[in-house]
Structure 1
């Protein structure tokens, strides 16, 4: 039926991407679909994965007779939820082989060309994940507000705390604290009412404001961003101490926070070599250099 082909799928919380390649890395087809995170249910996750995969296979001109040639690797957001991995692995599939892991792990594999290494993800949330001698290591990422230090949500939370203390007169205010309170009409009870329903994503909406004020020299904003960077320093050092040969910083705040990191940490960071789908292809067994 032909040579082996490799399918990589990045099943994220906002969308799902699939790419089909041959053993040499030539792209044969690509596909996208809606969210594949398991919080939407295992069945919905699998449908999104199969929809994106189907589009990639169709673009490559493969009908179902050839799907047995395909070895698939899939990273799924929320695969650690109770029963999620078992549910996905129980799904009947047409592939020659199928392997699952987390979306973070395929991002890690992609960042290091399918080899050992670690990543620190700093976006709305944060975590550090790596593979060392074939063993997975992980630090943080337990969810906001108990974890996710250094993230966008963390920046927003810390900034709001300073704004409320400055409103009370318990600390010196700044342009940042005044702008934050102005968004709530200078009413701390409006902040309380907002807090009751606020998610990590809501807190993270304040991160661009904090970063902008920090860049403009605002003392409170600089303190908040530097504190966040110190947590990222700790995550990078934890991966290095665990034996990760390469560590990369990824996520929406990676570029911003990299300038605030300690010199020794910046020196040890490595550029990413590929995307999360490339990591899923490595998981599928596509040969790596």
Structure 2
């Protein structure tokens, strides 16, 4: 091959995407697969990544022997878990270089085209991340329920708490709280049984209900969403104080929560330039430019 190629991979908890681009930024192939997170185990995460990459490479017309000329950037959910990076870097690979980063960092790189900036992710979970002068700054995101304030899971948790208080007569009920309790057949014991097994994702299924009622003026809904917005405000302001010149709001709840943010915070926001896969490709290009041959391993 005479034209260098770059693969970017976004390995997340719900799915994995890969894309092949040439030196001019033209897309040559794309692939998708299932979840890729270290929480599922390293072998399963890497199997998903390999499946997505292989699909992208086949669409790009590449053969197995071509890998030695291809640079790879991989963003992976759960990479911050203790020992995860070291375990992945111990794996051999056939590429020119493979660089790892968290899925949050590649999203930040893509959002700002590799320039300094930050992101606040508002989805099932929430956290803030920035890259400033080559340094990565991360705030929050320690996991639900001890962290992830203002997230979809947090909205669900707060709505259930208030619904149970209303059931007790400790506060006035509202249409939102009645709807929340109705999901448990009006029986708090059912809510307790559900809680014993519920994941953050299941708590987050209540978020659209909360947002809809809040937008319609429901007092409890407004109370919950205003509290969540204050948490997101805090993440944005903290990243700006740490030197991030621009912030992008991303995630499944970002568009819904943005109108609830403080005016000064909304003025600090900007649209994303590109997606997380683009951020991973930028990382691969950086490794190629630095002459790295074994930056990380897959």
TM over 0.5: yes
Q: Any idea what the Cα deviations from partners look like across 1:211-244, whole Å, max 9, x if unmatched?
A: 1111111011011001000000000001101101
Unaligned runs of 5+ in 2: 290-298
Q: Paired residue for 1:284?
A: 284
**Which residue number in structure 1 is paired with residue 149 of structure 2?**
149
Higher mean Cα deviation, 240-249 or 35-44?
35-44
* Displacement after TM superposition at 1:65 (Å): 2.4
Deviation at 1:89, TM superposition (A): 1.1
Q: State the Cα distance separating 1:152 from its structure 2 match.
A: 0.5
Q: Counterpart of 1:66 in 2: which secondary structure?
A: helix
**1:169 alignment counterpart:** 169
Question: What residue number does 1:137 align with?
Answer: 137
Q: Which runs of 4+ in 1 moved over 2 A?
A: none
Report the count of equivalent residues.
288
1:229 aligns with 2:243: no
CA distance in 2, matches of 1:95, 1:167: 60
Counterpart secondary structure, 2:118:
strand
Deviation at 1:61, TM superposition (A): 1.1
Q: Which deviations, in whole Å up to 9, do the C-alpha atoms of 1:147-168 show, x marking residues without a partner?
A: 0000001001111111111111
Q: CA deviation at 1:81?
A: 1.6
Aligned: 1:48 with 2:48: yes
SS in 1 for 2:267: helix
Q: Distance in 2 between matches of 1:78 and 1:66?
A: 29
Compute the displacement of 1:82 (Å).
Answer: 2.1
TM-superposition CA deviations, 1:135-185 (whole Å, max 9, x none): 000100001111000000100111111111111111111111111112222
Across the aligned residues of Structure 1 and Structure 2, the Cα RMSD in angstroms comes to: 1.4
Alignment of 1:181-220 (within 5 A): 181-220=181-220
Normalising by the residue count of structure 1, what TM-score does the alignment of the two structures yield? 0.97
Superposed CA deviations along residues 58-107 of structure 1, whole A, max 9, x for unmatched, are: 11111122211111000011111222111211111111111001111111
Partner of 1:9: 9
2:114 equivalent in structure 1? 114
Gaps of 5+ in 1: none
CA distance in 2 between counterparts of 1:277 and 1:183 reads: 37
Partner in structure 1 of residue 158 of structure 2: 158
Structure 1 position 3, deviation (Å): 2.8
Instruction: State how far apart, in whole Å, the 1-side matches of 2:58 and 2:91 are.
Output: 21
Distance 1:161 1:65 in 2: 57
Deviation at 1:37, TM superposition (A): 0.8
1:22-33 aligned within 5 A = 22-33=22-33
Task: Look up the match of 1:246.
Answer: 246
Separation (CA, whole Å) in 2 of partners of 1:245 and 1:139? 16
Q: CA deviation at 1:40?
A: 1.6
Distance in 1 of aligned mates of 2:12 and 2:165 = 37
Shift of 1:117: 0.9
Aligned partners of 1:45 and 1:185: how far apart in 2? 38
Return the alpha-carbon distance in structure 1 between the equivalents of residues 180 and 3 of structure 2.
59
Q: Which moved further from structure 2: 279-288 or 139-148? A: 279-288
Deviation at 1:23, TM superposition (A): 1.4
